[in-house]
C-alpha cells in the first residue's frame, strides 16, 4: 500500500479555519433601507454568497461583524446559515476595518487560521481562497506568512496599493488611496480586502493598530506593517479575475455584477451543452441543472432549484422556480411555474402553456397537456390528462386520459376549509363546469357543460346539473319606445 505524505502546502489547509466577515458598513450609496449586505445578487443576499463560500471552505466558524442594521442582518443570516457555525459580534461605532476585526478577537481561537472577507464582495471562488490559504505555509516553509489576495487593476483608484520590496517577491505595506504618495498612486496592484493570517499573530498585530492616517480610521491593512516589523513575510496571491473581488457599493455596481455573474453562469451552461437563444437574456437565481439537449429561449428566469430533463424546451419569457421538468417536456412562452416549498413536477413529454400557471404541489405525469390560462395547484394529473383552456384545478386528483373542459374549475375552498376533487380515469368534463369539492367523478363519466356538480357521480354516468333549456317559439323582443317630442 502506498503512503501519502502530507505535504507542507496542505498543512495550512488542515488547520481549523475561522472566517471573519466584515458586514458593519452602512452602504450609503445604495440609498436603501435594506442593509447593503442583504441586497440580493442572483436572488441571494450578498452576505449569503459570502457565507456560502465560507461553508464550502469547511470553515470551523464564521464570525460576522455587524453594525448598521445589525439586528436585521443577524436575523436574515440565522435563517440561511446551513451547517456553518455562525457567531456575530457588533461593531458600534464603525471606526474602520481594523477596528471591525478587533471586535472578533474574543471569538478567535489561537490555533486557527483566519480568512478575512467582506460581506459586500460576493463572488470570490472557494478555489481562490484555498490557494490564498496555501500561501500561508507554502513549499518547504516552516513558519507562517501573512497572505494577501491582490490583483492588477487598470484603474486602481480608491483601492489600497500593494507596496513590494525591490525584488518584488514580497509585500512591505498596503497604502490606502488617501494616504498614498504620487509614486504609490501609480501602483496598479491593489489589495482585494481579503487576507489569510494565523489567528495568534493577527491578534498581536491588531492590538498595535492606530488611527493616525488621512481618514482617522483603524486600518486592517496596517497589520502588514506590523507583520513586516515582526519579521513575518507578507506574500500576495495575485489573481486576474476582477469579478472575484468586486465589491458592491451602488445600485449600478450591483446591476453590473449581476450581469457579469449571469453571463458567466450562462457560459458555463453552454459549456455543458445547454442551447441558449441569447446568453445575455437568461437569469438564474438559484441552481439550474440541465440534462443533455436542453433549449432555452430568451428572457427566461429560473429561481430556487430547477431541474430540466433531457431534450426539454423552454419557450421565451418563462419564469420557472423550484420545479423538475422531465425529459422531452415543452414549456411554451409566458408560462409561470413556482413550486415554492412543495415543488412542481412536470412529466415526460408534457406540453405546458403558453400562458399556463403551475403552482406548489402541481404533480403532472407523462404527456399531460396544460394549455393557455390554466392554473394547477396542489393537484396530481395522471398520464395523458388534458386541461387545455381557461381552467382551474386546485386540490384535485385527476386520472389518466381525463379531458377537462374550457372554463371549468374545482371549487376547492368553502370559505373555511379546502377539500379534494377526485376525477377518475377517462372522465370527460365539459366546458364551464364547477366541481364543488369534496366530490368524486366516477371513471369514464361525463359531465355536461355548464354543470355545477356537488354530489359524486357513478362510473360511466352522464351528469348534468344546470337549468333545463326551454324555448319559447316566435319570441318578440321588446321594442324601443319612440322618444316623446
Ligand atoms: C478596504 C481596504 C483597501 C482595499 C479595499 C478593497 C482598508 C483600510 N482598506 O478599503 O485596502 O483595497 O477594501 O475593497 O481596509 N467595514 C466594517 N466596519 C468599519 C468599516 C468597514 O465592517 O468600520 C466593512 C464594510 O462594511 C465593508 C468592508 O468592511 O464590507 C470594507 O470597508 P470599506 O469601507 O469598503 O473599505 P475600503 O475603503 O473600500
Ligand atoms: Mg469598499
Question: Of the residues 182, 215, 245, which one is the last residue of a structural domain?
Answer: 245
Residue 81 belongs to some domain of the structure? yes
Residue 482 belongs to some domain of the structure? no
Q: Is 272 in the same domain as 223?
A: no
Q: Is 216 in the same domain as 320?
A: no
- Ligand 1 pocket, residue 122 CB under 6 Å: no
Q: Is 241 in the same domain as 279?
A: no
Quick one: which atom of ligand 1 is closest to the CA of 121?
A: 30
On the CB side of 295, CA atoms within 13 Å amount to 12
For 265-306, what is each residue's pLDDT tens digit? 999 999 999 999 999 999 999 999 999 999 999 999 999 999
Q: Is 305 in the same domain as 447?
A: yes
For 78-127, what is each residue's pLDDT tens digit? 776 667 899 999 999 999 999 999 999 999 999 999 999 999 999 999 99
Residue 366 belongs to some domain of the structure? yes
Q: Is the dihedral of CA 314, 317, 320, 321 positive or negative?
A: positive
Q: Is 212 in the same domain as 283?
A: no
For residue 174, the domain's CATH number is 3.90.550.10
Question: pLDDT value at position 14?
Answer: 73
Question: Of the residues 227, 245, 263, which one is the last residue of a structural domain?
Answer: 245
Rg (CA), the chain: 31
pTM over 0.85: yes
- Ligand 1 pocket, residue 91 CB under 6 Å: yes
Residue 35 belongs to some domain of the structure? yes
Question: pLDDT value at position 13?
Answer: 52
What is the number of the ligand closest to the CA of 193? 1
Distance from the alpha carbon of residue 191 to the mean position of ligand 2, in angstroms: 11
Residue 258 belongs to some domain of the structure? yes
Of 446, 374, 458, give the one whose Cα is nearest residue 408: 374
Quick one: which atom of ligand 1 is closest to the CA of 160?
A: 11
Residue at grid coordinates 450609503: 28
Residue at grid coordinates 356537488: 454
Q: Is 241 in the same domain as 255?
A: no
Q: Is the dihedral of CA 83, 89, 90, 91 positive or negative?
A: negative
- The Cα–Cα gap between 445 and 441 comes to 7
Query: Which residues lie below 8 Å from residue 90, measured CB to CB, with a gap of 6+?
Result: 24, 65, 66, 67, 70, 103
Q: Is 213 in the same domain as 268?
A: no
Q: Is 225 in the same domain as 295?
A: no
Question: pLDDT value at position 228?
Answer: 98
Residues of the chain with confidence (pLDDT) below 50: 1-9, 11
Q: Is 241 in the same domain as 256?
A: no
Question: pLDDT value at position 6?
Answer: 42
Question: Of the residues 245, 267, 294, which one is the last residue of a structural domain?
Answer: 245
For residue 451, the domain's CATH number is 2.160.10.10
Residue 475 belongs to some domain of the structure? no
Residue to substitute in 97, 119, 222 for testing ligand 1 pocket (most ligand atoms within 8 angstroms of CB): 97
- Give the range of the structural domain holding residue 99, as residue numbers without chain letter: 8-245
Report helix angle 46-56 to 126-134, nearest 10: 50
Q: Is 431 in the same domain as 294?
A: yes
- Count up the domains in the chain and report the number: 2
Q: Is 215 in the same domain as 257?
A: no
* Cβ atoms 67, 49 nearer than 8 A: no
What is the number of the ligand closest to the CA of 97? 1
Question: pLDDT value at position 9?
Answer: 46
Q: Is 95 in the same domain as 125?
A: yes
Residue 2 belongs to some domain of the structure? no
Residue 459 belongs to some domain of the structure? yes
Amino acid at each position: 500500500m502506498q503512503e501519502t505524505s502530507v505535504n507542507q502546502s496542505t498543512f495550512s489547509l488542515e488547520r481549523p479555519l475561522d472566517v471573519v466577515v466584515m458586514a458593519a458598513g452602512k452602504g450609503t450609496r445604495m440609498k436603501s433601507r435594506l442593509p447593503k449586505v442583504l441586497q440580493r445578487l442572483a436572488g441571494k443576499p450578498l452576505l449569503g454568497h459570502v457565507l456560502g463560500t465560507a461553508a464550502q471552505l469547511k470553515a470551523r466558524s464564521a464570525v460576522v461583524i455587524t453594525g448598521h442594521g445589525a439586528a436585521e442582518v443577524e436575523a436574515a443570516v440565522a435563517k440561511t446559515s446551513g451547517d456553518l457555525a455562525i457567531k456575530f459580534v457588533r461593531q458600534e461605532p464603525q471606526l474602520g476595518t481594523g477596528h471591525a476585526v478587533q471586535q472578533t478577537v474574543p471569538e478567535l481561537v489561537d490555533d486557527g487560521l483566519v480568512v478575512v472577507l467582506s460581506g459586500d464582495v460576493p463572488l470570490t471562488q472557494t478555489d481562490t481562497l484555498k490557494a490564498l490559504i496555501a500561501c500561508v505555509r507554502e513549499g518547504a516553509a516552516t513558519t507562517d506568512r501573512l497572505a494577501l489576495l491582490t490583483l492588477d487593476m487598470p484603474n486602481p483608484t480608491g483601492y489600497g496599493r500593494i507596496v513590494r520590496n525591490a525584488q518584488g517577491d514580497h509585500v512591505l505595506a498596503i497604502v490606502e488611496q488617501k494616504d498614498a504618495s504620487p509614486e504609490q498612486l501609480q501602483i496598479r496592484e491593489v489589495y482585494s480586502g481579503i487576507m489569510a493570517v494565523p489567528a495568534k499573530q493577527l491578534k498581536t498585530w491588531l492590538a498595535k493598530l492606530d488611527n493616525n492616517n488621512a481618514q482617522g480610521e483603524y486600518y486592517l491593512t496596517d497589520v502588514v506593517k506590523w507583520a513586516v516589523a515582526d519579521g513575518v513575510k507578507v506574500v500576495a496571491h495575485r489573481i486576474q479575475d476582477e469579478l472575484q473581488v468586486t465589491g458592491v457599493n451602488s445600485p449600478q455596481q450591483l446591476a453590473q455584477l449581476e450581469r457579469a455573474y449571469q453571463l458567466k453562469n450562462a457560459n458555463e451552461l453552454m459549456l455543458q451543452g445547454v442551447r441558449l437563444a441569447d446568453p445575455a437574456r437568461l437569469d438564474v437565481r438559484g441552481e439550474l441543472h440541465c440534462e443533455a439537449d436542453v433549449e432555452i429561449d430568451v428572457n427566461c428566469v429560473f429561481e430556487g432549484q430547477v431541474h430540466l430533463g433531457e431534450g426539454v424546451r423552454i419557450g421565451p419569457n418563462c419564469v420557472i422556480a423550484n420545479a423538475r421538468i422531465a425529459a422531452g417536456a415543452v414549456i411554451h412562452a409566458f408560462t409561470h411555474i413556482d413550486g415554492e416549498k412543495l415543488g412542481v413536477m412536470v412529466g415526460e413529454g408534457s406540453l405546458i402553456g403558453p400562458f399556463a400557471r403551475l403552482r406548489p404541489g402541481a404533480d403532472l405525469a407523462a404527456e399531460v397537456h396544460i394549455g393557455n390560462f390554466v392554473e394547477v395547484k396542489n393537484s396530481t394529473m395522471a398520464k395523458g390528462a388534458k386541461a387545455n383552456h381557461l381552467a382551474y384545478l386546485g386540490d384535485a386528483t385527476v386520472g389518466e386520459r381525463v379531458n377537462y373542459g374550457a372554463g371549468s374549475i374545482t371549487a376547492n375552498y368553502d370559505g373555511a376549509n379546502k377539500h379534494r376533487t377526485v376525477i377518475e380515469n377517462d372522465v370527460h368534463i365539459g366546458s364551464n363546469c364547477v366541481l364543488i369539492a369534496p366530490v368524486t367523478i366516477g371513471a369514464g363519466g361525463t359531465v355536461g357543460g355548464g354543470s355545477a356538480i356537488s354530489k359524486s357521480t357513478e362510473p360511466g354516468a352522464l351528469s348534468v346539473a344546470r337549468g333545463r333549456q326551454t324555448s319559447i317559439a316566435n319570441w318578440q323582443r321588446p321594442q324601443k319606445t319612440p322618444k316623446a317630442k
